[in-house]
Structure 1
Amino acid sequence: MKINHLTSAEENLMRLLWKLGSFYLKDIMEQHPEPKPHQNTISTYLKILTEKGYLSTEKEGRIFRYQTIVPAEEYRKYLLIQLSDHFFSGSGKEMISFMIHEQMVSEEDLKGFNIDFDTAQKKEPEFEYANEILNTKKDKKKSKNKKKKKKKEKD
């Protein structure tokens, strides 16, 4: 499923539409928070969102029933991939590192994912990314020095 970019106004409206799922224009007008846009404005956005593939329509007499096609989770995934590609060279590791550095994510937040940080410190392959992100620069230097020593011992 190809997902198209939404403007911020379209995205704001889609948040409401995802909650509604299946709806008529009158449902949107009732549910839209104040200040309510004009009905023609909403109609124009519905047409655009239908053309972009976010909504389907079914004519019922003189009115249309709309249905969301693209799930909110798919759009969220699309946005994260775009963000990752444009600002973090496609690296989830860089994104998480940035979020930790900017204090958007804490170690406590990451512990909620049942990552065993003691095991991560032992550099088991499946936890290596956590080790690299959570260690301080000092710990990274120590780790690099240990690797250099081991490499020299092998040679």
Structure 2
Amino acid sequence: MTERISEAEHAVMEVLWEESPLTAQEVTERVPADRGWSANTVKTLLGRLLAKNVIAHEEEGRRYRYRPLVARGDYVVGESRKLIDRLFGGRLTPLVAHLAERDAITDQDIAEIEALLKELKQ
């Protein structure tokens, strides 16, 4: 994926990653209600995502059904890499150290990281 997706577009992608293909109306119904988006807002976002080639649509009668072209896992890897490259020189250790200094890591996080590291060493 070359073009970055906005936070609003990401909310639409989360809906499509959860279930697809969906019509614009179905996406509108599934976007979190606290956003207060109209069907027109969702259609605008779907249009932007189509232009960025991260979703596709198929015609079904008089409406379109939308589906992601980018897997959620691939998107997360790409965005994570960009964040670490931009803010921490491509290194993971400074990110973890930064979070630890800010008390942003819970005891459960530490236990999960330790388990992951143990698994990676094997």
1:5 maps to 4
Query: Which amino acid is 1:88 matched to?
Result: F
Taking structure 1 as the reference length, the TM-score comes to 0.65
Question: CA separation in 2, counterparts of 1:77 and 1:100?
Answer: 22
1:138 maps to none
| CA shift for structure 1 position 96 | 1.3
Distance 1:57 1:87, change over 3 A: same
Distance 1:108 1:10, change over 3 A: closer
2:95 maps to 95
Query: Which amino acid is 2:4 matched to?
Result: H
Question: CA separation in 2, counterparts of 1:100 and 1:43?
Answer: 41
The CA deviation string for residues 66-106 of structure 1, in whole angstroms up to 9 with x for no partner, is 11121222222122111111110000111111122222224
Distance 1:100 1:46, change over 3 A: same
Question: CA separation in 2, counterparts of 1:95 and 1:87?
Answer: 8
1:69 maps to 69
> Contact conserved, 2:12 with 2:46, CA < 8 A, in 1?
no
The correspondence of residues 102-141 of structure 1 with structure 2, limited to 5 A, is: 102-106=102-106, 108-112=108-112, 113-114=114-115, 115=117
Question: CA separation in 2, counterparts of 1:97 and 1:36?
Answer: 38
Two-structure CA RMSD over aligned residues (Å):
2.1
Query: Which amino acid is 2:48 matched to?
Result: I
Query: Which amino acid is 2:15 matched to?
Result: L
Taking structure 2 as the reference length, the TM-score comes to 0.79
> Contact conserved, 1:29 with 1:36, CA < 8 A, in 2?
no
Q: What is the SS of the residue equivalent to 2:56? A: strand
Contiguous gaps of at least 5 residues in structure 1:
117-125, 127-155
Contiguous gaps of at least 5 residues in structure 2:
none
Question: CA separation in 1, counterparts of 2:27 and 2:109?
Answer: 36
| CA shift for structure 1 position 35 | 5.2
Question: CA separation in 1, counterparts of 2:71 and 2:94?
Answer: 27
> Contact conserved, 1:57 with 1:64, CA < 8 A, in 2?
yes
Question: CA separation in 1, counterparts of 2:35 and 2:81?
Answer: 33
Question: CA separation in 2, counterparts of 1:108 and 1:44?
Answer: 40
User: Whose RCO is larger (CA < 8 A, sep 6+)?
Assistant: 2
Question: CA separation in 2, counterparts of 1:96 and 1:35?
Answer: 31
Distance 1:107 1:28, change over 3 A: closer
Identical residues among aligned pairs (%): 22
